[in-house]
């Protein structure tokens, strides 16, 4: 039996707080006119107190799950693609696994900056196609506002926070993920980086005072790299899928800069109406930008059953990649019974998490005390 990996659920979560270009122009030497003309961004979402990469990821993941006939316990794998993880470890994906109550799932984070969602989707799809797993949740989630230097006008105007998620399920029905291209060039790593906080530059007073924990970027170099790779990766993934470019109904590109997307469209000879654009409202949400754009396209009916889609991204690393898929329509509307189920599941996942923590404390008291006694 040939197995296929289909997207059966999708969900997004963005913070309520909107930061406009106008507000930014009060914070640094910039203007709405400059930001819109150079990037296409008008506003972005910024997390508030109590929100984080894991909380956005869990919310998007729960929304994606509720569209499917799966419960969290049916998931075999949770991947969170992120450049702004909750911690160095534990993985953000483990926090999401616990929060959703995905008790049978392996979980890990995927670090490939803005290309992470595409790579995560391909990893999960291949695991499904080979029969290793049946159901996976792939999330792109970011709180880049926490890594931005809010005094650097060259970067702080670009990024925003948010999360988007896909549920992938095994099926015998042809379609779903068709092909993927994954590439990297570490020689360009310093073009876009957060230099400190890892093992190379552990946190010191000096790294903090030199702002080495914030995003450092050579915008022009990233721009040149991006315009070079976007069209090439798209062509390659379409060819690998055995398709022609004009059979692609929709391209969902990473939302980093409207001009980069326009340049890719020109390079491919495709009209801009085949590209999903929502950068004006969210800015660059890195690994979350493609699933957020996909969720909005689905909500607006821009993706229909049978459509061939290409997702294409580039980012820090340097990394870039593309994925071709044929959309096979799941039910767009969520029945109220599933919404109720989601609330109940979320409640029990919280209770389960608390109980497990209490058991761990009790075990620590018992075994900790006895091991001291043994000494």
- Residues interacting with ligand ACO, by CB under 6 A? 30, 34-35, 38-39, 113-114, 153-154, 157, 192, 217, 219-220, 222-223, 226, 256-257, 284, 286, 315-316
Least Å distance between CB 314 and ligand ACO? 7
User: Alpha-carbon distance 78 to 53, whole Å?
Assistant: 15
> What are the residues whose beta carbons fall under 8 Å from the beta carbon of 236, sequence distance 6 or more?
181, 322
DSSP 260-307: HHHHHHHHHT--GGGB---HHHH-B-GGGHHHHHHHHHHHTT-S-TT-
> What's the min distance (Å) between Cβ of 95 and ligand ACO?
22
Q: Please say which residue, 31 or 104, places its beta carbon nearer to ligand ACO.
A: 31
Q: How far apart are CA 127 and CA 198, in angstroms?
A: 30
| Residue 4 backbone dihedrals phi, psi, to 5 degrees | -125, 155
**Within the chain, how many helices (H) and strands (E) appear?**
12, 13
DSSP 159: B
DSSP annotation string for 142-157: EEGGGTS-TT-HHHHT
Compute the least distance from the CB of residue 110 to ligand ACO, in Å.
13
What is the smallest separation between the CB atom of 326 and ligand ACO, expressed in angstroms?
A: 27
What does the alpha-carbon distance between residue 73 and residue 107 come to, in Å, rounded to a whole number?
13
Closest separation between CB of residue 150 and ligand ACO, Å?
12
Give the Cα separation of 340 and 16 in Å (integer): 23
d(CA 44, CA 283): 5
Report in angstroms how near the CB of residue 256 gets to ligand ACO at its nearest.
3
CB nearer to ligand ACO: pick between 154 and 189: 154
Non-local (6+) Cβ contacts of 73 within 8 A are 101, 102, 103, 104
Taking the alpha carbons at both ends of the chain, their separation in whole angstroms is 58
Q: Catalytic positions, please?
A: 114, 254, 284
Residue pair 194/315 in contact by the 8 Å Cβ criterion = no
* Long-range interactions of 334-342: CB distance < 8 A, separation 24+: 334/66, 334/67, 338/66, 338/67, 339/66, 341/66, 341/71, 342/62, 342/65, 342/66
Q: Which is nearer to ligand ACO, 45 or 63 (CB)?
A: 45
- Nearest residue (CB) to ligand ACO, 25 versus 171: 25
* Least CB distance to ligand ACO at residue 295 (A): 20
Beta carbon nearer to ligand ACO, 201 or 223: 223
């Amino acid at each position: 039996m040939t197995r296929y990996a289909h997207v059966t659920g999708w969900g997004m979560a963005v913070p309520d707080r909107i930061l406009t270009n106008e507000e930014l122009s009060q914070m640094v030497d910039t203007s709405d006119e400059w930001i819109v003309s150079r990037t296409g961004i008008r506003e972005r979402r910024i997390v508030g107190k109590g929100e984080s990469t894991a909380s956005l990821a869990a919310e998007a993941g729960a929304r994606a799950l509720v569209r499917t006939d799966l419960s969290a316990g049916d998931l075999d794998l949770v991947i969170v693609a992120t450049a702004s993880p909750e911690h160095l470890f534990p993985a953000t994906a483990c926090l999401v696994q616990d929060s959703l109550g995905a008790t049978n799932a392996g979980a890990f984070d995927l670090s490939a900056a803005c290309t992470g969602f595409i790579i995560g989707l391909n990893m999960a799809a291949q695991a499904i196609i080979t029969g290793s797993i049946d159901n996976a949740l792939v999330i792109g989630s970011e709180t880049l506002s926490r890594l931005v230097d809010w005094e650097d006008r060259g970067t702080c105007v670009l990024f925003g926070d948010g999360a988007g998620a896909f549920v992938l399920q095994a099926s015998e029905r042809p379609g779903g993920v068709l092909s993927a291209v994954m590439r990297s060039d570490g020689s360009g790593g310093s073009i876009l980086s957060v230099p400190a906080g890892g093992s190379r530059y552990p946190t010191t007073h000096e790294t903090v005072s030199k702002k080495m924990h914030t995003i450092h970027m050579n915008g022009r170099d990233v721009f040149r790299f991006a315009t070079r790779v976007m069209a090439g990766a798209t062509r390659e993934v379409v060819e690998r899928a055995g398709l022609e470019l004009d059979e692609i109904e929709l391209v969902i590109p990473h939302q980093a800069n409207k001009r980069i997307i326009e340049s890719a469209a020109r390079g491919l000879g495709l009209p801009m109406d085949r590209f999903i654009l929502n950068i004006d409202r969210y800015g660059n949400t890195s690994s979350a930008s493609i699933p957020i754009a996909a969720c909005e396209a689905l909500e607006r009916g821009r993706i229909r059953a049978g459509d061939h889609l290409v997702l294409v991204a580039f980012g820090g690393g340097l990394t870039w990649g593309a994925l071709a898929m044929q959309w096979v329509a799941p039910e767009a509307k969520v029945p109220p019974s599933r919404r109720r189920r989601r609330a109940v599941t979320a409640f029990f996942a919280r209770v389960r998490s608390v109980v497990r923590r209490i058991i761990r404390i009790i075990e620590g008291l018992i075994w900790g005390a006895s091991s001291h006694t043994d000494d």
